[in-house]
C-alpha cells in the first residue's frame, strides 16, 4: 500500500510533465490538423534554456523563488520564440499543400533542432545540482516510508496553476474563442475579422511555452539532460495526447496523467528497464482499439 | 460605396466570374439573383477576399480591396453571412456572437451590441447558452446574420438567407433585413435564388448567368421583366 502510494505520487509528478507537453501536440493538431513532430524538441530546447539560466543565476545571490520565477519566464519566452519560428519557417509555407508535407517538414525540424543543440551545447550531458531540496515523509512507522519532495509539490502545483490559467484562456477570452473558431472553420473565422495566421502563431507560442515549463521541471527533477531527451518525452506526450483524444485539451491533461502513472507503475511493479515500452504499448493499443481516445470526439469534421 | 469592376475569378482552370461589374451605393439594398452555379457565392467570397480575382478591381469607399486579406476587409466595414450559415456548432450562441466582435481588440463593450441583436431576433436570446449546432436552420440563419452584424459593418453581404428555411421564417428574416437597412443604416448586398422576395426588397438588382451579369435595373423593373418572369419567377420562384 505504501509502495503504491509512493508510485502514485511519482506518477502524478511525471504525468505533469507529459501533460504540459501533450497540450502542445493536441492544440496544434486541433488548429492545423498536423502532428508537430518537432514539439518534443521544443521541450528539449526549453530544458536547455532552463538549465543554462539556472547555471547563470546559480552564480548570483538572488533568492531561490526569484531564480525559479526568472528561469520560468526566460525559458517560456525564448522557447516560445523557437516554436513561433518553427511554424513560420517550416509549416506556414506548406499550408494548403498535400497533407504529408508539413509532417515531413516537422520531422526535418526535429532533426534540425537536435543537431543545432548538439553543435551549440555539445553532445555530452549537462547537469546541475538539485535546486529545490527538502521533503515530507509519511508512514514513518511502517517499513516503507512514502516521500513527497518539495520539488514534486512545486511541480504539481505549478502544473495545476498553468492548466487553470490555460483553460481560462481557451474558454473565456477573445483569443481562446478565436482559437476554437479557427479549429472548426478557418474561412468563416476570417470572414469575422479574425486573423487566422496570427491565431495559429499564438497556438504555437502557447504550446511551446507550456512545453518549456515541462522542460524546466524535467531539469529540476532529473538534474541532467542531453540533446536527445525530446525524442522519448515527445513520443510519450504524443501518446498522452492520442490517449486523451487528439484535439481535446482536457484529454491531453488526462492522458498525460495516465501515461505518467502507467510508466511509474510499470517500472514499480513490472520492470524498470522496459519502462519506455509501456508508453508505446499504450499508444499501439489506443490506436487499434479506440483511435478517438478517451475524450476525443468521434465527429467526422476534419476531412 | 462598393464598386466591382470587370472581375474575373477562377477555380484552377474553371472560370466562375466573367467580367462582372456591379455597383452598390451607400444605403441601398442591392440584390443579385441567379440559378445554381451562376457564381453568386463566388462573387461574395471575392468581395470578402477569400477568392482572389485574376483580373479586375474592387473598390470600397475609395480603397482597392481586391488584394486585401479577408480579416482586414471586415475591419474596413464589409461583413458576410455566408451560404450555408457556417455557424460554429460547438460554440454557444453567445460565443458565436462574441466572435463577430473580435475585430475590436481593446476590450470593447459588446454586450450592448448583443442586446441589439437579441432585440432584432428574440429567439436567439432564449437560446443564448445553447450550442450553435443545436439550433434549427432558421435560427442558425438569424444567428449568422446577427454574428455578421456584431462587426458593426457598413455593408452586409448576405448569401441566400432563405435557403432551406420555412416560409414563415423567411418572411421574418426578410423583415429583419429591411430593418437592418432602414434603421441600422447598413447597406445590403443580397444574393438569392428566391428571386421574387429578393427583387421586392431591392432598390436595384442584377441577374447573374454563368458568371456574367446579363440584366440590371431597379427591383421593380426586374420584377416586370419578361425574361426574368420566365426564368426565375414562374412557378412560385
Ligand atoms: N471551390 C471550388 N472549386 C471549384 N469550382 C468551384 C468551387 N466553388 C464553386 N465552384 C464552381 O464555380 C461555379 C460558381 O459557383 P458558386 O458557388 O459561386 O455558384 P452559386 O451561384 O453560388 O450557386 P448556388 O446558388 O448553388 O449557391 C460553379 O460552376 C461551381 O461548380
Ligand atoms: Mg451560392
Distance from Cα B16 to the centre of ligand 1, integer Å: 7
Q: Which atom of ligand 1 is nearest to the CA of B40?
A: 21
Count up the domains in chain A and report the number. Answer: 1
What is the model's pLDDT at position A303?
Answer: 33
Does any domain span residue A245? no
For residue B105, what pLDDT band results from cuts at 50, 70 and 90? Answer: low
Interface test with A, best of B49, B68, B69, B70 (most A CBs within 10 A): B70
What is the model's pLDDT at position B235?
Answer: 57
**DSSP β-ladder status, B155-159 and B14-24:** unpaired
Does any domain span residue A280? no
* Arithmetic mean of pLDDT over chain B: 91
What is the model's pLDDT at position B160?
Answer: 95
Identify the CA nearest to A276 among candidates A214, A231, A241, A221. Answer: A231
Distance from Cα B17 to the centre of ligand 1, integer Å: 10
CA distance linking residue A186 with residue A189, whole number of Å: 5
Ligand number nearest CA of B34 is: 1
Q: Under 8 Å CB-to-CB from A167, ≥6 apart: which residues?
A: A249
The H-or-E segment that residue B15 falls in is strand B14-24
Q: Under 8 Å CB-to-CB from A213, ≥6 apart: which residues?
A: A20, A46, A72, A75, A76, A158, A159, A162
Ligand 1 near B14 CB (within 6 A): yes
Residues B109-155: tens digit of each pLDDT: 788 889 999 999 999 999 999 999 999 999 999 999 999 999 999 99
What is the model's pLDDT at position B24?
Answer: 96
CA distance linking residue B131 with residue B94, whole number of Å: 9
Does any domain span residue A87? yes
Asked if residues B63 and B41 have their Cβ atoms less than 8 Å apart, the reply is no
| Per-residue pLDDT in tens (0 to 9) along chain A, 303 residues | 888 999 999 999 999 999 999 999 999 999 998 999 999 999 999 999 999 999 999 888 889 999 999 999 999 999 999 999 999 999 999 988 888 899 999 999 999 999 999 999 988 899 999 999 899 988 888 888 899 999 999 999 999 999 999 999 999 998 999 999 999 999 999 999 999 999 999 999 999 999 999 999 999 999 999 999 999 999 999 999 999 998 888 999 999 999 999 999 998 888 878 888 888 888 898 888 888 888 876 554 433
Would you tell me which residues 167-226 of chain A have a C-beta closer than 8 angstroms to some C-beta of chain B? 174, 177-178, 180-181, 184-185, 187-196
Distance from Cα A33 to the centre of ligand 1, integer Å: 26
Does any domain span residue A256? no
What is the model's pLDDT at position B174?
Answer: 94
Asked if residues B31 and B39 have their Cβ atoms less than 8 Å apart, the reply is no
Does any domain span residue A269? no
HEC-encoded secondary structure of A57-88? HHCCCCCHHHHHHHHHHHHHHHHHHHHHHHHH
Chain B residues touching residue A250 (CB < 8 angstroms): none
Asked if residues B21 and B59 have their Cβ atoms less than 8 Å apart, the reply is no
Decide if B88 and A178 are in contact by the 8 Å CB cutoff. no
Does any domain span residue A292? no
3-state secondary structure of B118: helix
CA distance linking residue A74 with residue B3, whole number of Å: 51
Distance from Cα B191 to the centre of ligand 2, integer Å: 8
Asked if residues B80 and A190 have their Cβ atoms less than 8 Å apart, the reply is no
Does any domain span residue A109? yes
Does any domain span residue A175? yes
Ligand 1 near B42 CB (within 6 A): yes
What is the model's pLDDT at position B107?
Answer: 57
Q: Please state the φ and ψ torsions of residue B163, each to the nearest 5 degrees.
A: -60, 120
The closest CB to that of B151, out of A178, A187, A192, belongs to A192
Decide if B69 and A177 are in contact by the 8 Å CB cutoff. no
Higher local confidence (pLDDT), A274 or B172: B172
Decide if A177 and B71 are in contact by the 8 Å CB cutoff. no
Nearest residue CA, atom 29 of ligand 1?
B37
Structural domain for A24, as ranges? 16-235
**If you average pLDDT over residues B63-89, what whole number do you get?**
95
* Probe residue for ligand 1, chosen from B16, B35, B210 as the CB with the greatest number of ligand atoms within 8 Å: B16
Decide if A187 and B50 are in contact by the 8 Å CB cutoff. yes
Q: How many CB atoms lie within 10 A of CB A84?
A: 16
Chain A residues touching residue B52 (CB < 8 angstroms): none
Q: How many CB atoms lie within 10 A of CB A184?
A: 20
Amino acid at each position: 500500500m505504501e509502495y503504491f502510494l509512493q508510485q502514485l505520487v511519482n506518477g502524478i509528478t511525471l504525468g505533469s510533465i507529459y501533460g504540459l507537453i501533450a497540450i502542445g501536440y493536441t492544440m496544434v493538431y486541433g488548429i492545423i490538423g498536423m502532428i508537430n513532430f518537432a514539439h518534443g524538441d521544443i521541450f528539449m530546447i526549453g530544458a536547455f534554456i532552463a538549465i543554462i539560466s539556472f547555471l547563470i543565476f546559480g552564480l548570483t545571490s538572488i533568492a531561490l523563488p526569484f531564480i525559479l520565477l526568472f528561469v520560468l519566464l526566460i525559458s517560456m519566452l525564448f522557447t516560445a520564440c523557437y516554436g513561433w519560428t518553427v511554424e513560420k519557417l517550416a509549416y506556414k509555407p506548406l499550408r494548403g499543400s498535400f497533407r504529408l508535407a508539413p509532417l515531413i517538414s516537422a520531422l526535418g525540424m526535429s532533426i534540425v533542432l537536435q543537431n543545432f543543440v548538439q553543435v551549440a551545447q555539445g553532445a555530452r550531458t549537462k547537469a546541475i545540482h538539485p535546486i529545490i531540496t527538502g521533503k515530507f515523509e509519511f508512514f514513518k512507522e511502517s517499513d516503507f516510508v512514502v516521500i513527497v519532495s518539495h520539488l514534486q509539490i512545486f511541480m504539481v502545483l505549478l502544473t495545476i496553476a498553468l492548466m487553470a490559467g490555460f483553460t481560462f484562456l481557451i474558454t473565456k477570452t477573445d483569443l481562446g474563442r478565436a482559437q476554437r473558431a479557427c479549429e472548426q472553420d478557418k474561412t468563416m473565422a476570417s470572414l469575422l475579422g479574425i486573423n487566422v495566421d496570427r491565431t495559429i502563431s499564438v497556438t504555437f507560442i502557447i504550446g511551446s511555452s507550456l512545453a518549456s515549463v515541462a522542460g524546466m521541471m524535467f531539469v529540476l527533477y532529473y538534474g541532467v539532460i542531453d540533446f536527445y531527451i525530446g525524442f522519448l518525452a515527445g513520443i510519450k506526450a504524443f501518446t498522452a495526447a492520442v490517449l486523451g483524444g487528439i484535439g481535446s485539451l482536457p484529454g491531453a491533461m488526462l492522458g498525460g496523467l495516465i501515461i505518467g502513472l502507467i510508466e511509474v507503475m510499470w517500472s514499480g511493479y513490472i520492470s524498470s528497464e522496459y519502462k519506455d515500452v509501456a508508453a508505446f504499448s499504450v499508444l499501439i493499443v489506443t490506436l487499434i482499439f479506440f483511435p478517438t481516445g478517451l475524450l476525443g470526439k468521434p465527429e467526422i469534421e476534419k476531412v | 460605396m462598393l464598386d466591382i469592376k470587370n472581375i474575373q475569378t477562377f477555380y484552377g482552370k474553371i472560370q466562375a466570374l466573367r467580367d462582372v461589374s456591379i455597383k452598390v451605393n451607400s444605403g441601398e439594398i442591392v440584390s443579385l439573383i441567379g440559378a445554381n452555379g451562376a457564381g453568386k457565392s463566388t462573387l461574395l467570397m471575392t468581395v470578402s477576399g477569400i477568392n482572389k480575382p485574376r483580373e479586375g478591381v474592387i473598390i470600397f469607399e475609395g480603397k482597392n480591396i481586391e488584394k486585401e486579406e479577408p480579416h482586414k476587409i471586415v475591419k474596413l466595414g464589409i461583413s458576410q453571412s455566408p451560404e450555408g450559415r457556417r455557424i460554429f456548432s460547438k460554440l454557444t450562441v453567445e460565443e458565436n456572437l462574441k466572435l463577430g466582435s473580435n475585430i475590436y481588440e481593446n476590450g470593447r463593450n459588446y454586450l450592448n451590441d448583443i442586446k441589439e441583436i437579441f432585440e432584432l431576433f428574440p429567439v436567439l436570446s432564449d437560446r443564448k447558452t445553447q450550442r450553435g449546432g443545436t439550433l434549427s436552420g432558421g435560427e442558425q440563419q438569424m444567428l449568422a446574420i446577427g454574428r455578421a452584424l456584431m462587426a458593426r459593418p457598413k455593408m452586409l453581404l448576405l448569401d441566400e438567407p432563405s435557403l432551406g428555411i420555412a416560409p414563415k421564417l423567411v418572411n421574418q428574416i426578410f423583415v429583419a433585413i429591411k430593418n437592418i437597412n432602414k434603421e441600422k443604416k447598413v447597406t445590403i448586398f443580397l444574393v438569392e435564388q428566391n428571386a421574387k422576395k429578393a427583387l421586392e426588397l431591392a432598390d436595384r438588382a442584377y441577374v447573374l448567368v454563368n458568371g456574367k451579369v446579363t440584366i440590371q435595373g431597379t427591383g421593380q423593373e426586374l420584377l416586370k421583366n419578361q425574361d426574368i418572369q420566365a426564368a426565375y419567377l414562374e412557378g412560385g420562384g
